[in-house]
Amino acid sequence: GAVVSQHPSRVICKSGTSVKIECRSLDFQATTMFWYRQFPKQSLMLMATSNEGSKATYEQGVEKDKFLINHASLTLSTLTVTSAHPEDSSFYICSALGTMNTEAFFGQGTRLTVV
Amino acid sequence: LAKTTQPISMDSYEGQEVNITCSHNNIATNDYITWYQQFPSQGPRFIIQGYKTKVTNEVASLFIPADRKSSTLSLPRVSLSDTAVYYCLVAPNSGYSTLTFGKGTMLLVSP
């Protein structure tokens, strides 16, 4: 199946700094990508939907100025957590829609720890 | 998007068949049903997708009744490595505008 690569898989940063997470579709073009965060023992919570070449659509309650999403090409979307705080520590997962838009492929996730 | 309801958890033993049912009463005509599996600290992995009746692949079967208001994921002869969270998603077959997860079912397989 199609492959989505997410990088880094794990990152520790200091409070107040910014962290960028990359999501790449390796063997297909993804017009649409989704970003999720997941807390322990909970389901994935959709943060935003990212469409190539346009502004991301954020879910209610997600601060767009804090979670910057850029989808500049058909194979790359990035999520930047700005001025990170300990409460931003979570597991972040990206997903990309395949060519037929009937199946979503997921990255391996990024464990963010803010200290 | 159609809301889904699944059991929070299920227990099974190695070698047994496991059936996880998902309710999606307000599924739309052009919605497909997709099941994902997630292990701790990993992204979800696609298991199977279907629209109606029965779909089978090398890892699972998906049963969808005629009214499509529910679906059942069937895992034959589970092993310890099938312990995971299973999510049922319902979304249109093209042009997803959003992809929202329900709570999922935590399957625990014991020896």
Q: Within 10 Å of residue A8's Cβ, how many Cβ atoms?
A: 12
**pLDDT at site A100:** 65
Question: Do B49 and B34 meet the contact criterion of CB atoms below 8 Å apart?
Answer: yes
Of A1, A46, A93, the CB nearest to B100: A46
Tokens for A17? 């700094």
Query: Which of A28, A52, A91, A106 has the most B C-beta neighbours within 10 Å, making it the best mutation to test the interface with B?
Result: A106
Please report, as a single letter, which amino acid is at residue A39. Answer: F
- Per residue in A61-90, pLDDT (tens digit) is 999 999 999 988 889 999 999 999 999 999
B87 contacts A43? CB cut-off 8 A: yes
Hey, is the C-beta of B103 within 8 angstroms of any chain A C-beta? yes
- Return the closest-CA partner of residue B11 out of B80, B101, B110: B110
State which residue of chain A sits closest to B88, comparing Cα positions: A43
* B69 burial level (CB within 10 Å; 0-12, 13-18, 19+): middle
Handedness of CA B77, B110, B86, A28 (dihedral sign): negative
- Per residue in A18-65, pLDDT (tens digit) is 999 999 999 888 888 999 999 999 999 999 998 888 889 999 999 999
Hey, is the C-beta of B8 within 8 angstroms of any chain A C-beta? no
